[in-house]
């Protein structure tokens, strides 16, 4: 293959395009209500979703809209009827708290003739932050830092977050009752449970405060005393899915990691290289997942098992990074640096890992590219790749090698995308 890097970038672009809300929202427009239509939303893709919803609603001539969505700083989109607010992610700030208060106000006092449309995507947990009774904003920030640093899986993070919130865990939908709530979800959650995306502000789940306490204990999280007291208080219980206030509501998954992986697989097949989807729900430590992918690639390259080359391996999900040092880089870059170490010196193996929202962690890159000569390029630039991995500093290593993938915000978010191309030893 002449340009493996360009090929893998094309696969990533196909995956992102498949999750574009402009394509998927048109297929999920609710019917026009007798009363008002109020749009709310939260997440990294919520502004792009709001723009797409406005355009589709107007094209269908379904009347006026109003509403508010909150997205990450720099992820806004132009809208005319739905206000877009921006706030901090992954650590909450006052702007996110103010947006949450206003959103609760917008849905309060509605009638059974009114419709609330909730546009929800990953990242909404931090962006829609309104602490529960007795919990301060700084407490919530400390909790988020502890969850991120502790390597807690996204399901565990959201379980804890919803029990510390005045708006998550279905509480926003409960506030909108008796209006009907239709929730459109772009899922960034392994196995696509919509109640876990953004900690489910409009969709309750059955986890309890006891589950949250078990997570705190399992990961040995150091949390503020007020938080621990609240989790031990029966008043922190979130609404149950069977409560009557949710009876009329609807939930639609409009984009998922699986659909994006399938789009990448189709493009790869059209280019003459078969693709195999390993899983859309890979979790665990990013560096361990990287080593596992490298081992599979090596087996294929050397022995033609379990697939004969050429082949592309695709996977999605959300890995985690347990921070050991304060380097630069997100989970996709860390995954890929570990993989690069595992394929060092091998010809015919090429890989890309990137976040479909366009931002890997807190840096400016979506992810990075690697092949069997990545270690050589890094060392030539004065970088010790093993030491970089130990410092959680994958961004600096790939930056030095000239292999960062920078796209800017994409307007969607179905989480991690990983593609490994194996052409065989002759490449």
Domains and CATH numbers, the chain: 4-13+258-422 (3.40.1480.10), 21-255 (3.40.50.10180)
In whole angstroms, give the CA distance from residue 346 to residue 371: 8
Helix (H, G, I), strand (E, B) or coil at 370: strand
Tokens 């502790």 -> residue: 150
Give the pLDDT confidence score for residue 92 in this predicted structure: 86
Closest CA to 199 of 129, 149, 113: 129
Give the pLDDT confidence score for residue 205 in this predicted structure: 87
CA distances from 88 to 70, 111, 152, 187 (A): 10, 33, 20, 20
Cβ-Cβ contacts under 8 Å for 13 (sequence gap 6 or more): none
Give the pLDDT confidence score for residue 427 in this predicted structure: 52
Strand partners, 354: 367, 417
Cβ neighbours, 10 Å, residue 248: 13
Give the pLDDT confidence score for residue 6 in this predicted structure: 97
Closest CA to 200 of 228, 232, 241, 237: 241
Q: pLDDT tens digits, the chain, 427 residues: what are they?
A: 789 999 999 999 999 999 999 989 999 999 999 999 999 999 999 999 999 999 999 999 999 999 999 999 999 999 999 999 999 998 889 999 999 999 999 999 999 999 999 999 999 988 998 999 889 988 988 998 899 888 888 789 889 988 999 999 999 999 999 999 999 999 998 889 999 999 899 999 889 999 999 999 999 999 999 999 999 999 898 899 999 999 999 999 999 999 999 999 999 999 999 999 999 999 999 999 999 999 999 999 999 999 999 999 999 999 988 878 777 878 999 999 999 999 999 999 999 999 999 999 878 999 999 999 999 999 999 999 999 999 999 999 999 999 999 999 999 999 999 999 999 865 5
Pairing of strands 416-422, 311-317: antiparallel
pTM, 2 dp = 0.87
Contact 88, 145 (CB under 8 A): no
Neighbour order of strands in the sheet with 404-405: 275-282, 311-317, 416-422, 349-355, 367-371, 404-405
Cβ-Cβ contacts under 8 Å for 235 (sequence gap 6 or more): 133
In whole angstroms, give the CA distance from residue 264 to residue 118: 28
Cβ neighbours, 10 Å, residue 387: 12
In whole angstroms, give the CA distance from residue 356 to residue 324: 25
Strand partners, 184: 119, 252
């Amino acid at each position: 293959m002449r340009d493996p890097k360009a090929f893998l970038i094309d696969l990533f672009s196909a995956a992102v395009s498949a999750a574009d809300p402009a394509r998927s929202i048109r297929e999920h427009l609710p019917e026009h209500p007798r009363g008002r239509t109020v749009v709310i939303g939260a997440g990294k893709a919520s502004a792009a979703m709001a723009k797409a919803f406005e355009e589709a609603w107007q094209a269908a001539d379904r009347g006026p809209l109003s509403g508010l969505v909150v997205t990450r700083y720099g992820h806004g989109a132009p809208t005319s009827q739905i206000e877009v607010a921006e706030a901090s992610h992954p650590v909450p700030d006052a702007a996110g708290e103010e947006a949450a208060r206003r959103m609760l106000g917008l849905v309060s006092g509605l009638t059974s003739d009114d419709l609330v449309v909730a546009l929800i995507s990953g990242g909404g947990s931090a962006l829609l932050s309104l602490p529960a009774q007795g919990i301060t904003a700084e407490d919530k920030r400390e909790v988020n830092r502890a969850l991120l640093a502790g390597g807690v899986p996204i399901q565990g993070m959201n379980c804890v977050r919803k029990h510390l919130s005045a708006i998550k865990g279905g509480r926003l939908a409960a506030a909108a009752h008796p209006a009907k709530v239709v929730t459109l979800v772009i899922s960034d959650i392994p196995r696509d449970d919509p109640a876990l995306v953004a900690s489910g502000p409009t969709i309750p789940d059955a986890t309890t405060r006891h589950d949250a306490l078990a997570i705190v204990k399992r990961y040995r999280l150091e949390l503020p005393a007020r938080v621990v007291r609240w989790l031990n208080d029966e008043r922190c219980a979130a609404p149950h899915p069977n409560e009557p206030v949710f009876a009329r509501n609807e939930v639609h998954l409009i984009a998922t990691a699986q659909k994006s992986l399938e789009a990448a697989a189709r493009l790869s097949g059209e280019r003459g290289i078969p693709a195999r989807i390993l899983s859309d729900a890979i979790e665990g430590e990013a560096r361990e997942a990287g080593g596992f992918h490298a081992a599979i690639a090596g087996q294929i390259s050397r022995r033609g098992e379990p697939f004969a080359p050429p082949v592309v391996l695709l996977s999605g999900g959300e890995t985690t990074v347990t921070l050991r040092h304060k380097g630069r880089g997100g989970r996709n870059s860390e995954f890929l640096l570990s993989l690069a170490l595992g394929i060092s010196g091998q010809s015919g193996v090429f890989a890309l890992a990137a976040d479909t929202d366009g931002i890997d962690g807190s840096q400016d890159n979506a992810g990075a590219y690697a092949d069997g000569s990545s270690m050589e390029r890094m060392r030539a630039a004065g970088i010790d790749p093993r030491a970089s991995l130990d410092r959680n500093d994958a961004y600096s290593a790939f930056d030095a090698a000239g292999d960062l993938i920078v796209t800017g915000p994409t307007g969607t978010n179905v989480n991690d995308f990983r593609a490994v191309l194996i052409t065989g030893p002759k490449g």
